Amino acid sequence: MNPLTPAEMVGAIGQAAQAAARTDAPLDDFQRSQLLSAYSATRHLAVELESYPAAVAAFCAGLADRIDARPAAELPGEVAGTAAQLRVTTDPRDAGEVVSALLNLLRAHPSPAAAALRGETQAALRDLCDREVDLLADALERR
Amino acid sequence: MIAIASRTEAVEAALREAGELEPGDEVRDVEQLPGGWSRHSFVAHAALGDGDQRRYIVRVKPTGALLDTDLALEYRVYAALAGTGLPAPRVYAFVASDDTPFDGPFIVMEHVDGTAPNMYSRPDQARLADDWAGPRTIAADMVEHLARIHGLQGDELPADLPELDFDAVVARWRSVYEERHLVRDPVIEEAFEWVAGRAPREPWPGLVHGDYRIGNTLIAGGRVRAILDWELVHRGDVRFDLGYLAMPRAAGKHLRAHSPLMGTFADQEWFLERYAQLTGRHVDAEVLRTFQMLGIMMLLATQLTAVWMYAHGRTTDVRMAWSRFSFAGLRQDMTRLMGW
């Protein structure tokens, strides 16, 4: 659910490398810090490209199952399409849009079923956040 | 080279007009320092007529700065701090024009000897842990200075400081999310709902530094020699600074925490107890959680803005694009604060 796509990040890294390569004078501390940030970005991005799609797919499928398991009559009508949307979502940014809209609906609905599904959605998001951190930390802290 | 030459001339002219440089003194070069997000920092080297050398810090608000804060007010805050006994660099000159060789208005201030600890650096964390395990002078300075900041009286600082109560702070950072997010984030949106419903019943009004952390200090000889980065200073609920220091991020957590110390320099219970001794105010644990979330909101606002600026071609600074990688750890901290 992070802003900027991986492709946009690749472009940003490339621009930083190009700017450094075109500098005639020795790099100063600020310019070196730019290259180090670009290097750090490659390390994060490598994990994201390799590991996020499966994690996001599991999150979306699991949440879709939880929605389908709830009686539709006890939930806001618009929720009905959310599970189907999640089952075809592979981009984490799209998942962010769909789940944000879902939570908006659930917050505004007074039924216990909506409150319960909101809690389940939060728990699924928590697990996804922990998974994202673990994936990055495990890879980045492996020296 | 033309730009660099004109920067030295601009700094020299500002210092000369302020009476800080004598006729035989001259600024020889100006070099950009790493770090600095919404302000860019430079060091200027001056050769004095008597053969000595002196350094100055130039603090610039560049075009399209990360936070639209008032550099003129910041200058006046620094000037006012000189009379308070708090450690802060002296300021010599403020150039208000946007059309400068630095691409924006700038302040020229004293260069204070010392190092700003990097809260993510393991060696810096180890040095601060050594202070905590030993003399605790840095920890003591940090809490004593914060208590003094919070106790500064209205007539000691500029009268036009922003006043932001709890709701105004939430609204400020929420509006940044609404205006600058490139993708919707369900955790952030839930967190705004959570924090908005937790306004403390009794405000603790006072002066709020707004970005009080070890990385915004200069340390030398085991003491805090200067408190920097006052651009977010305002009158408001002083517990913001406590919550901000209590964030895992302030202890150097990017993904995983590596320092058990609050802000990397003190045990949290000790810090809050010492703060209570100095101010007579004990912060409630639940209220502290609320202000931790508010601190995260502020960080998110800056990171969202950084990414937005890069995406919209307002900057080529790759650190701004890199900011998107800081969301994972902050998102996890938010889910824990909300007890998910």
Residue B38 has pLDDT above 80, yes or no: no
Query: Residue written as tokens 């070196």?
Result: A32
Amino acid at B337: L
Work out how many domains chain A is built from and give that number.
1
pLDDT recorded at residue B1? 39
| Tens-digit pLDDT profile for residues A5-15 | 999 999 999 99
Q: What distance in Å separates residue B325's CA from the closest CA in chain A?
A: 7
- Residues B28 and B45: beta-carbon distance below 8 Å: yes
Please compute the mean of the pLDDT values over residues B194-205 and round it to a whole number.
Answer: 95
Test A96 with B185 for CB contact under 8 angstroms: yes
Residue A49 has pLDDT above 50, yes or no: yes
Domain assignment of residue A106, yes or no: yes
| Tens-digit pLDDT profile for residues A76-91 | 988 989 999 999 988 8
| Tens-digit pLDDT profile for residues B251-306 | 999 999 999 999 999 999 999 999 999 999 999 999 999 999 999 999 999 999 99
Q: Is B318 on the interface with A (CB under 8 A)?
A: yes
Q: What distance in Å separates residue A135's CA from the closest CA in chain B?
A: 10
Test A96 with B332 for CB contact under 8 angstroms: no
Q: Is B31 on the interface with A (CB under 8 A)?
A: yes
Q: Minimal Cα distance from B322: which residue of A?
A: A41
pLDDT recorded at residue B2? 40
pLDDT recorded at residue B3? 53
Residue B123 has pLDDT above 60, yes or no: yes
Please compute the mean of the pLDDT values over residues B173-184 and round it to a whole number.
Answer: 94
Give B296's contacts in chain A (Cβ within 8 Å). Answer: none
Q: Which of residues B137 and B67 earns the better pLDDT score? A: B137
Considering only A76-85, B111-120, B187-196, which range has the smallest mean pLDDT?
A76-85
Interface test with B, best of A129, A131, A134 (most B CBs within 10 A): A129
Domain assignment of residue A17, yes or no: yes
| Tens-digit pLDDT profile for residues B69-91 | 889 999 999 999 998 999 999 99
Q: What distance in Å separates residue B258's CA from the closest CA in chain A?
A: 11
Domain assignment of residue A134, yes or no: yes
Q: Would you state the structure tokens that stand for residue B295, as one six-digit string?
A: 């601190």
Please compute the mean of the pLDDT values over residues B153-178 and round it to a whole number.
Answer: 92
pLDDT recorded at residue A143? 57
DSSP line for B109-138: EE----B---TT-HHHHHHHHHHHHTT-HH
Q: What is the mean pLDDT of chain A?
A: 93
- Give the ipTM: 0.95
Q: By three-state DSSP, how is residue B87 classified?
A: coil
Q: Minimal Cα distance from A139: which residue of B?
A: B255
| Sign of the alpha-carbon dihedral angle for B144, B149, B150, B151 | positive
Q: Residues 157..216 of B with a Cβ closer than 8 Å to A: which?
A: 181-187, 189-190, 193
Domain with A74 in it: 6-142
Give B321's contacts in chain A (Cβ within 8 Å). Answer: 4, 8-9, 12, 41
| Tens-digit pLDDT profile for residues B220-251 | 999 999 999 999 999 999 999 999 999 999 99
Test A136 with B338 for CB contact under 8 angstroms: no
Residue B148, number of CB atoms within 10 A of its CB: 16
Give the distance, in angstroms, between the CA of residue A143 and the centroid of all CA atoms in the same chain: 25
- Residues B155 and B133: beta-carbon distance below 8 Å: no
Minimum-distance CB partner of A123 among B181, B332, B340: B340
Q: What is the mean pLDDT of chain B?
A: 94
Q: Would you state the structure tokens that stand for residue A42, as one six-digit string?
A: 């490659």
Residue B58 has pLDDT above 80, yes or no: yes
pLDDT recorded at residue B5? 63
Distance CA B158, CA B79 (A): 9
Distance CA B97, CA B190 (A): 41
- Ramachandran angles phi, psi of A120, nearest 5°: -65, -35
Domain assignment of residue A68, yes or no: yes
Please compute the mean of the pLDDT values over residues A98-122 and round it to a whole number.
Answer: 95
Q: Beta-strand (E) ranges in A89-136?
A: none
Domain assignment of residue A55, yes or no: yes
Minimum-distance CB partner of A125 among B181, B186, B318: B186
Minimum-distance CB partner of A100 among B189, B316, B318: B189
Test B190 with A15 for CB contact under 8 angstroms: no
Cβ-proximal residues to B9 (8 Å cutoff; 6+ apart), any chain: B27, B101
Q: Would you state the structure tokens that stand for residue A20, as one six-digit string?
A: 């450094």
Give B318's contacts in chain A (Cβ within 8 Å). Answer: 12-13, 15-16, 34, 37-38, 41
Q: Which of residues A34 and A30 earns the better pLDDT score? A: A34
Domain assignment of residue A1, yes or no: no
Give A125's contacts in chain B (Cβ within 8 Å). Answer: 186-187, 190, 335, 340
Collect all residues from A whose CB is shorter than 8 A from any CB in B. Answer: 1-4, 8-9, 12-13, 15-16, 19, 28-30, 32-34, 37-38, 40-41, 44, 93, 96-97, 99-104, 107, 121-123, 125-126, 129-130, 132-133, 136-137, 140-141
Domain assignment of residue A96, yes or no: yes
CA atoms within 13 A on the CB side of B89: 25
pLDDT recorded at residue B19? 95
Domain assignment of residue A60, yes or no: yes
